[in-house]
Structure 1
Amino acid sequence: MKINGNEIKPGNVIEHNGGLWVAVKTNAVKPGKGGAFNQVELKNLIDGTKLNERFRASETVEKVRLEQKEYQYLYAQEDALVFMDMETYEQLELQADFVGDRKAFLQDGMTVTVELHEERPIGVSLPDQVTLEIAEADPVVKGQTATSSYKPAVLENGVRVMVPPFITAGEKIIVATDDISYVRRAD
């Protein structure tokens, strides 16, 4: 689907210079002299490189539609992660670095969303929040108030997170996967 350069919005995926790019930031600029343009910060979906590009209103770009499909995480195998298509039961194997640092949050049986472009995986979205157990947490310092700063703790998957002082080892908490932050105690 073709769109004008000034219609590019953050989150749009476009075909540009022979690659797939997602618009991270956009800024419509109307200079006093010359035509208006859209200053767009793009991120390559394949290799993660960034690019700043100007698109004039008269230019057209190809907006790409990504297919989103649910997969179930099965297991890790050396440096690969194995997922199963929830409808066809076919298995999909992706490199571990495809998921990045968030791979520590993958749990057996977890449902993830894989974005595909022409049947080729482009990205993996994990659930926004996961429940994990605290493996170790520093003890509360006497006299420390509940409103004071958070303390470091280590989750069962080895990831470090800052938690409120009342959280102890063995408790289950909910963690946001996008910024690895404490949300609340799990019920």
Structure 2
Amino acid sequence: MISTSDFKRGTKIEFRGEPYEILDFQHVKMGRGSAFVRTKMKGLRTGKIIEETFSSGDKVPKPELEEKEMQYLYKQDNLCYFMDTETYEQVPVTEEQLGDSLKYLKENMNVYILYYKGEAIAVELPNFVELKVAQTEPGFKGDTASGGSKPAILETGASVKV
């Protein structure tokens, strides 16, 4: 069990039978009333973002999540296939479950997949991903009005500023 006073960004809790990750939280102390914690959470299965209020000091269950290291193999239709590095078993994950992470996935990249009750629910990328710039527009000398950065397209198709 996790106390609401121990909430941090990234903490994973079980709420109404589903696993959630806390995106943002705020401890609020009213003048005469009791304190409470206002949270913004993302459902790990569905990706939905909800806001919920907990009484200060409440305890919420911690979800039984299992984390496995996997290797990204390939994408086919709207499924991405990962291979367990220990058993060599292939696991399909939908594009919806990957979300924005799909833009930064490169073949043979090692990632961590979160399992909840035997079902793959989320993919966690490494903190740093090394990708090549596939295309960028030429910068103009003296053009620093826009902060000196320009859009670039990476080898995976993601667009970033460099």
Fold conserved (TM > 0.5)? yes
Q: What is the match of residue 137 of structure 2? A: 138
How far the C-alpha of 1:53 sits from its partner, in A, is 1.9
Inter-partner Cα distance in structure 2 for 1:7 and 1:151 = 41
How far the C-alpha of 1:143 sits from its partner, in A, is 4.2
Percentage of pairs with the same residue: 37
Structure exhibiting the larger radius of gyration computed from Cα positions: 1
Q: Tell me the TM-score normalised to structure 2 length.
A: 0.85
Which segment drifts farther, 96-105 or 2-11? 2-11
After the TM superposition, which residues 86-165 of structure 1 pair with which residues of structure 2 at under 5 Å, given as runs? 86-144=85-143, 148-163=147-162
**Number of positions where the alignment pairs a residue of Structure 1 with one of Structure 2:** 161
Inter-partner Cα distance in structure 2 for 1:7 and 1:120 = 27
CA RMSD of aligned residues (A): 2.2
Task: Flag as ranges the 4+ runs of structure 1 deviating above 6 A.
Answer: none
Q: Do the aligned residues in 2 keep the contact of 1:73 with 1:107 (CA within 8 Å)? A: yes
Q: Do the aligned residues in 1 keep the contact of 2:42 with 2:48 (CA within 8 Å)? A: yes
Residue 153 to residue 56, structure 1, CA distance change in 2 (3 Å): closer
Q: Do the aligned residues in 1 keep the contact of 2:72 with 2:108 (CA within 8 Å)? A: yes
How far the C-alpha of 1:10 sits from its partner, in A, is 2.5
Q: Which sections of structure 1, spanning at least 5 residues, go unmatched?
A: 164-187
How far the C-alpha of 1:65 sits from its partner, in A, is 4.1
Q: Do the aligned residues in 2 keep the contact of 1:21 with 1:45 (CA within 8 Å)? A: yes
Q: Which sections of structure 2, spanning at least 5 residues, go unmatched?
A: none
Q: Tell me the TM-score normalised to structure 1 length.
A: 0.75
Specify the code of the residue in structure 2 equivalent to 1:122. I
